[in-house]
Structure 1
Amino acid sequence: MRILFLCYRFNSLSQRLYCELTERGHEVSVELDVHPELTIEAAELYKPDLIIAPFLKRKIPPEVWKKYPTLIVHPGPPGDRGPHAIDWAILNNVKEWGVILLEASEEYDAGDIWAFRTFPIRFARKSSLYRNEITEGAVECVLEAIESLERGKISKTPQGEKYNWNKIEKERRRINWEEDSTEDVLRKIYASDSQPGATATLQGEEYYLYNAYPEEELKGKPGEIIAIRDEAICIGTGDGAIWITHLREKRKDSIKLPAVRVLKNIKAPEIPLKPWEKVDFKTYREIVYEEEKGVAYIYFNFYNGAMSTEQCYRLLETIRYAKKRPVKAIVLMGQEDFFSNGMNLNTIENAESPPDESWRNINAIDDVCEEILKTPDKLTVAGMQGNAGAGGVFMALNCDFVFAREGVVLNPHYKNIGNLYGSEFWTYILPRRVGWEMGKEVMENRMPISSRKAKEIGLIDDVFGKTPKEFRKLLKGKLEKFINSREYYEFIERKKRERTSPKWEEEIRKAREHELEKMKLNFYGFDTSYHIARYYFVHRKPHFRTPPYLAKHRRKIKL
């Protein structure tokens, strides 16, 4: 089928649906929601069999949905309408939620339902629920609807007149430190993450708060900053305390940053906690190190998968610690929502010199990758529970084995941020995995691929597990079996011979030097594409057109 996506942004859900449909043989083109007239034009240019709107912020013009079958993904169960569906569910402590696929209509979210799924709702960030339960349910709904269309047997259910309109007023997101319990504070932040953020007063000023963790040991006055750890702040509540990793100032051009980079003159003490230190209470840990049956697992909870220079240093320290331990394997696990997305563009944008900070950041990530590569006596593994992009994909590929969960979406390219050349030893690892021809295709393609497709082309080694929990369980079983087999010892012997040879050392050195020479031009050269693209990305500037790599219908035909 010819399918047109209408999106406000080509976000994680849109990318997942794109992968699922194109890899099933459907032709998909994407139009970003720039202007209603351009939406109408896109439909007329492409003449789709079906239009799907995975993520929109305004109504679709009637000139489109009256002419073409048009289905909208709404992140709520039947009877739910409005712009703040998941926010409303979290704030009201709803036990079950869902996702529906409905027809576009004159009234907002009022069209007939083609398919729906429900699920028990976790007490978690809105963005996490969206990337996991909502996304999985949306995929099932869309595939069900397409199958119905192809069979010519469409079953629709009217919405009915009784519904819940779920718009959340700003005051509902505001934190009152004196009156709100720790759970109340967490709920407001979870419901507002990643947009628009919960609001609160800190040190006499108003801020947006993001990414919260409960704290069971530390106590303090409500609203008082009582501790710092890994650039996060711990704040007292009415009955305990919470950690906040990111803040944003309440001004139009502000961006999300680690909390200590936003607040000034914090007088609270630094209370460090190493990833391998054992604690028996809930607290914030950016990196968690665990050993189990001869395997070291490193979980890194970097917000939105972005890795600042300082976070890279902390991850590097943890990997070096693991290399000294009596373990047979070291596994990089990332987190459930993201494995890694490479450089932290927000901290770079905020730096006094973005080119200098870009250079520091890419070198720090390369240090992590080189440390992984130079591990001759242990197995290294990437366990991709969540999505990955750009340098995050290639950091994973530096490991001996790369495993990913079903449904994970990968963007193994750098071009979408100002045509970056890329580093992380991709010129060394990519040809070894897929060959130069396929490697070139991977780097030139600016569209996402699924973990299933990545395995098919040889980019990663295996795909398994429907949920992060199932993936972790299967991964641990697979590793336990392998490290206790003869194959493991044979593998390590071969690896030692390769990774301790001067020829290999020279190859690695040249790969890094070549890539960084190209990246230096991206950061400091006359072409400012990277800096412009980074600015637009960080400040969430709306698109003024749909780029041709997304919109097949807008590509010029070359004769």
Structure 2
Amino acid sequence: MRIIFAGTPVFAAKALLSLLNAEYQIVLVLTQPDRPAGRGMKTQVSDVKKVAQAHDIPLLQPLTLKTETVHTQLKVFNADVMVVAAYGLILPKEVLKIPRYGCLNIHASLLPRWRGAAPIQRAILAGDQETGITIMQMDEGLDTGDMLLQRDIPVDAVDTAQTLHDKLADLGAQSIVEALELMQLGKLSATPQDETLASYAAKIQKKEAEIDWRMDVDQIDRSIRAFNPYPGAYTYFQGSLLKIWQAKAAVKNNPGKAGEIVTTGSEGVVVACGRGSLILEVVQKPGGKKMPIAEFMVGHYLQPGQFFSTVVDC
């Protein structure tokens, strides 16, 4: 099969490597243009571009796929199928029709649950017990196409967005190879999505990561894990922002007002929530490094009765 691959981050790069290892013919790679990123704003190339360059695969980095010039460039490659994974550009109808078998998307959820930009974070926030990969026939809608193959995995109680992303990236890489093998055998069947079960995974906003101590401890725990590594769950302590990277629910309920430090003893720094209490484990102040809470306490006086808050001037 002649395959065009479209993707940008490491999630997509793993799938591209999997296709190459399975000896599929990648005739063209599409990825996002190089852009400045990081503190130094140095120009960064995508993970997918690095793979393409390492394997001498023709590469295109258009700003949009909506121009006739790009459509003409894609048609030249006479592709059987386009594989899309976390590409970041909308594929117009004209592009969807170019490959012989259309375009297949590797989506990080069990569709129709969590269509959209942030399915991994939304699954953790919602307390889903399982998630997975859907190989989908792309149409003009937002993750609304027919499902071709699904593979599921459990969401562990300690999974962060990063650890779950890594598991799904590996699963997606395996699943697309499996799907293409079935396609070549004529054994890949399409199943329409049930619209009544659809849910939307909206893009993560930084404001969402602010901890509301009035919530249930399990909800707060899920927030901390869902926003790790981006944007990082945060609260305020003595007027300064503090990110919380790791925590766990206390075994017993420690009475106190929401956000109040109820103990700093052998159990650690325990903070009261709307229901239950949370033990802080790894934190970070602005401009500092992530550190265990015991190390943080060396330079910061924490005692029962103090509050973590959503109010900056607390």
**If the length of structure 2 is used for normalisation, what is the TM-score?**
0.66
Q: CA RMSD in A?
A: 3.6
Q: Decide whether aligned partners of structure 1 residues 211 and 151 sit closer, same or farther in structure 2, where only a CA change above 3 A counts.
A: same
What residue is the counterpart of 2:2 in the other structure? Answer: 2
Structure-2 residue corresponding to 1:36: 64
Please list every run of 5 or more consecutive structure 2 residues that lacks an aligned counterpart in the other structure.
34-62, 303-314
CA 1:136 to 1:112, structure 2 compared with 1: closer, same or farther past 3 Å? same
Q: Report the AA paired with residue 20 of structure 1.
A: S
Q: How much has 1:158 moved relative to structure 2?
A: 1.2
Q: 2:127 aligns with which of 59, 71, 93?
A: 93
Distance 1:45 1:248 in 2: 51
* TM superposition shift of 1:2: 3.0
- Structure-to-structure mapping, 1:253-402, within 5 angstroms: 257-258=289-290, 266-268=299-301
1:412-440 CA-to-partner distances (Å, cap 9, x unmatched) read xxxxxxxxxxxxxxxxxxxxxxxxxxxxx
In the TM superposition, residue 257 of structure 1 has moved relative to its aligned partner by: 4.4
Quote how far apart the aligned CAs of 1:156 are: 0.8
The count of residues paired between Structure 1 and Structure 2 equals 251
Contact 1:76 1:85 in 2 (8 A): yes
Q: Which of 11, 21, 27 is the equivalent residue of 2:25?
A: 27
- Distance between the aligned counterparts of 1:186 and 1:65, measured in 2? 41
User: CA deviation digits over 1:59-105, x for unaligned, max 9?
Assistant: 22333212122111111112221222122221121222222111221
For the 8 Å contact 1:31–1:42, the answer to whether it is kept is: no
- 1:117 counterpart (148, 151, 156): 151
* 8 Å contact kept, 1:7–1:32: yes
1:215/1:186 CA distance change after superposition, 3 Å: closer
Matches within 5 A, 1:103-502: 103-123=137-157, 124-132=159-167, 134-162=168-196, 163-167=198-202, 170=205, 172-177=208-213, 179-206=214-241, 209=243, 211-214=245-248, 222=259, 236-238=271-273, 239-246=277-284, 257-258=289-290, 266-268=299-301
Contact 1:97/1:121, CA 8 A, preserved across alignment: yes
SS of 1:183 mapped into structure 2: helix
Contact persistence 1:3–1:51 (CA under 8 A): yes
Letter in 2 for 1:77: L
Match of 1:14 among 7, 12, 17: 12
Counterpart of 1:36, as a letter, is: T
Greater strand share, structure number: 2
Pick 1 or 2: higher relative contact order, CA cutoff 8 A, min separation 6: 2
Q: Distance in 1 between matches of 2:161 and 2:236?
A: 22
What is the identity, as a one-letter code, of the residue corresponding to 1:176? D
Asked if 1 retains the 8 angstrom alpha-carbon contact of 2:22 and 2:177, the reply is no
Determine which structure has more spread, i.e. the larger CA radius of gyration: 1
CA distance in 2, matches of 1:160, 1:216: 40
Q: In 2 relative to 1, CA 45–192 (structure 1 residues): closer, same or farther, beyond 3 Å?
A: farther
Counterpart of 1:433 in structure 2 is: none
C-alpha separation between the residues in 2 aligned to 1:258 and 1:40?
47
SS of 1:211's partner is strand
Whichever residue aligns with residue 66 of structure 1, its letter is K
Give, as a single letter, the amino acid of the residue that structure 1 aligns with 2:4: L
Contact 2:241 2:285 in 1 (8 A): no
Q: Secondary structure at the match of 1:86?
A: helix
Residue 166 of structure 1 aligns to which amino acid in structure 2?
Answer: A
CA shift for structure 1 position 142:
0.8
Deviations 1:92-141 (A, max 9, x none): 21222222111221111011111111222212101111211x23432342
What displacement does 1:46 show? 4.1
Cα 1:245/1:206, change in 2 over 3 Å: closer
Flag the 1:8–1:18 CA change in 2: closer, same or farther, 3 A.
closer
Question: How high is the sequence identity, in percent, across the aligned residues?
Answer: 20
Amino acid at match of 1:267: H
For the Cα contact (< 8 Å) 2:112–2:144, is it kept in 1? Answer: no
Q: CA deviation at 1:182?
A: 4.0
> 1:45 & 1:224 partners in 2: Cα distance?
65
User: Which letter maps to 1:30?
Assistant: V
Please say if residues 3 and 27 of structure 1, whose CA atoms lie closer than 8 Å, have aligned partners that are also in contact.
yes
Secondary structure at 1:52 match in 2: strand
Q: Counterpart of 2:95 in 1: which secondary structure?
A: helix
**Letter aligned with residue 5 of structure 2:** F
Where in structure 1 are there 5+ consecutive unaligned residues?
Answer: 228-232, 250-255, 270-559
Cα distance in structure 2, aligned partners of 1:189 and 1:92? 13
1:79 aligns with 2:112: yes
> How many angstroms does 1:206 deviate by?
4.0
TM-score scaled by structure 1? 0.39
1:180, CA displacement in angstroms?
3.4
Q: Residues 465-518 of structure 1, C-alpha deviation per residue, up to 9 Å, x if partnerless? A: xxxxxxxxxxxxxxxxxxxxxxxxxxxxxxxxxxxxxxxxxxxxxxxxxxxxxx
C-alpha displacement of 1:266? 4.5
SS at the partner of 1:36?
A: coil
**Structure 2 Cα separation of the partners of residues 5 and 248 of structure 1:** 39
Q: Which residue of 2 aligns with 1:57?
A: 88
Write the distance in 1 (CA, Å) between the matches of 2:64 and 2:290: 37
For the structure 1 residues 198 and 161, does the alpha-carbon distance in structure 2 shift closer, same or farther, using more than 3 Å as the test? same
Structure 1 CA distance, aligned partners of 2:87 and 2:285? Answer: 26
User: Within 1, Cα distance between the matches of 2:75 and 2:232?
Assistant: 38
